[in-house]
Amino acid sequence: MRTAVFKALATVSIWGSSFLAIRVALEGATPWGVVWMRSTLAAVLLFALLGLRGQPLLPERRDRARCVVLGLVGAAHFLIQ
């Protein structure tokens, strides 16, 4: 129970502070630069987490095409919404 509460508080804290962090980051960088930095940091952290857990860094070969399609659909949805 305590672990779940800690994870929830950590999530809320990170999510809530992201708006302030973006505001500060935009003072010294372009919007595209901030997006690039956020995406790169997220990818590095997620790959590190996968490595620490001993999970494969890439999906299985049979699932790769599905992952590409899901990524394209997600990006297209974002752009047309």
Model confidence pTM above 0.75: no
Q: What is the DSSP string of the chain?
A: -HHHHHHHHHHHHHHHHHHHHHHHHHHHS-HHHHHHHHHHHHHHHHHHHHHHHT--SS--GGGHHHHHHHHHHHHHHHHH-
Q: What is the mean pLDDT of the chain?
A: 91
The pLDDT confidence band at residue 65, using thresholds 50, 70 and 90, is: very high
Domain-wise residue ranges, the chain: 2-80
Task: Flag whether pLDDT at 81 surpasses 90.
Answer: no
Task: Flag whether pLDDT at 1 surpasses 80.
Answer: no
pLDDT of 21 reads 86
